[in-house]
């Protein structure tokens, strides 16, 4: 592995880290807003029961950082030379990051099951139709977010190279 390839993978990791942190934060905000919306609506029974978001703010960000960083490094290593479009590359990263995040959550549940104190691990829950809907819903959020992130990177690269060319001597 040459030095340029290592630097490129480090940049891919950092881009994935930022993307995962941002998308996890936005996912938490959207979850919080949806819970607040449900709390503001009257229930059918007439009782208005307030619920809160049962996860900490850093949970989705942590999962996003792990999943997107791994996916970004993998896709940049294996697809960056083949895929010429930055936007398409970040869509591939979106799909891979959702799968990496799903596998990461399965591993966390298995570890929690082995350490005790949590409900036992059931594979049927993770391969059910509701789990598939959750994966598709996550992908429906991550794909547009990564499209915007890829567009930002493409614009930033275009700006960088246009300024770099303007400073070159004729």
Please tell me the predicted confidence (pLDDT) of residue 52.
65
The tokens for 17 are 């880290």
Domain presence at residue 46: no
Domain presence at residue 113: yes
Domain presence at residue 47: no
CA distance 102 to 99: 5
Split into its structural domains, the chain has a count of 1
Long-range contacts from 98-104, C-beta under 8 angstroms, 24+ separation: 98/67, 98/135, 98/138, 98/139, 98/142, 99/71, 100/66, 100/67, 100/68, 100/70, 100/71, 101/63, 101/64, 101/66, 101/67, 101/138, 102/135, 104/63, 104/66, 104/67
Question: End-to-end distance of the chain based on CA atoms, in angstroms?
Answer: 35
Q: How far is CA 27 from CA 22, 127, 154, in A?
A: 9, 23, 23
- The angle formed by the CA atoms of residues 71, 101 and 3, to the nearest 5 degrees, is 20
Q: Which residues contact 110 (CB under 8 A, 6 or more apart)?
A: 121
Read off the pTM: 0.77
Please tell me the predicted confidence (pLDDT) of residue 145.
92
Domain presence at residue 49: no
Please count the other Cβ atoms lying within 10 Å of the Cβ belonging to residue 164. Answer: 9
Please tell me the predicted confidence (pLDDT) of residue 71.
93
Domain presence at residue 33: yes
CA distance 85 to 74: 16
Please tell me the predicted confidence (pLDDT) of residue 92.
93
Which SS3 state, helix, strand or coil, does residue 150 take? helix
Torsion angle, CA of 31/140/75/102, rounded to 10 degrees? Answer: 60
Please tell me the predicted confidence (pLDDT) of residue 28.
83
Domain presence at residue 142: yes
Domain presence at residue 143: yes
Domain presence at residue 169: no
Provide the residue range defining the domain that includes 90: 3-40+54-164
For the chain, 170 residues long, give each residue's pLDDT as a single digit of tens.
555 566 588 889 999 999 999 988 888 888 788 777 777 777 666 555 566 666 777 778 888 899 999 999 999 889 888 888 888 999 999 999 999 988 888 888 888 877 877 777 787 877 888 888 888 888 888 999 999 999 999 898 888 878 766 666 55
């Amino acid at each position: 592995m040459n030095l340029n390839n290592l630097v490129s993978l480090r940049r891919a990791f950092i881009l994935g880290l930022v993307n995962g942190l941002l998308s996890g934060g936005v996912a938490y905000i959207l979850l919080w807003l949806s819970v607040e919306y449900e709390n503001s609506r009257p229930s059918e029974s007439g009782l208005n029961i307030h619920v809160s978001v049962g996860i900490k703010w850093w949970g989705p960000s942590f999962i996003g950082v792990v999943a997107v960083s791994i996916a970004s490094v993998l896709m940049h290593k294996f697809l960056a030379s083949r895929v010429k479009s930055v936007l398409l590359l970040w869509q591939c990263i979106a799909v891979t990051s959702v799968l990496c995040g799903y596998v990461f959550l399965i591993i966390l549940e298995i570890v929690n099951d082995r350490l005790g104190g949590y409900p036992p691990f059931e594979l049927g829950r993770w391969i059910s139709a509701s789990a598939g809907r959750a994966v598709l819903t996550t992908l429906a959020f991550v794909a547009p977010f990564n499209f915007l992130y890829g567009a930002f990177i493409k614009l930033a690269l275009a700006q960088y190279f246009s300024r770099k060319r303007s400073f070159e001597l004729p």
